[in-house]
Structure 1
Amino acid sequence: MAGSEPVTAPDQHKPGHRKSGRIGALVTAAALVLMALWGNHEGRVEDIWLIGVAALLVLIVIGDAVLRRNGLRS
């Protein structure tokens, strides 16, 4: 019944699973690097963007892990 459930704000709910989000980001970064290595393009601009975005994803995952380990993020 709705009367027995506590009233909570949407920001009090935890978003998704952290571990699956990290794994998904790392798998996506690996796919981007593979696309840079075996793409059907001739120029190097695409390679730079793909590897740059992959590196950014990895840095975000590492930064999130460091912040959570230090207790600066819940």
Structure 2
Amino acid sequence: MRTTLELPDPLFKHLKARAALEGSSLRDLVVRLVERGLQAPEVAQPAPAALPSISLGSPMLLVAGKLSNASLSALLDE
């Protein structure tokens, strides 16, 4: 089957040079590398690290009608 791949120029040059060094065609080299990649065992991705959590005690009681920058600042200063 034919397909078209757009490869970055440096990668294409690297593949072309490697194929020449190995005495094979670019097609054979790419097929071999793709097959090897598909047969390789999948590498398990490490679980994301848990983020630290801090308990700050009970929540602050805030009354909706009394919220202002000054009152919030006073609560934070306590």
**TM-score band, normalised by the shorter chain?**
under 0.3
Pick the structure with greater CA Rg: 2
TM-score scaled by length of structure 1 = 0.26
TM-score scaled by length of structure 2 = 0.25
Q: Which has the higher contact order (CA 8 A, sep 6+)?
A: 1
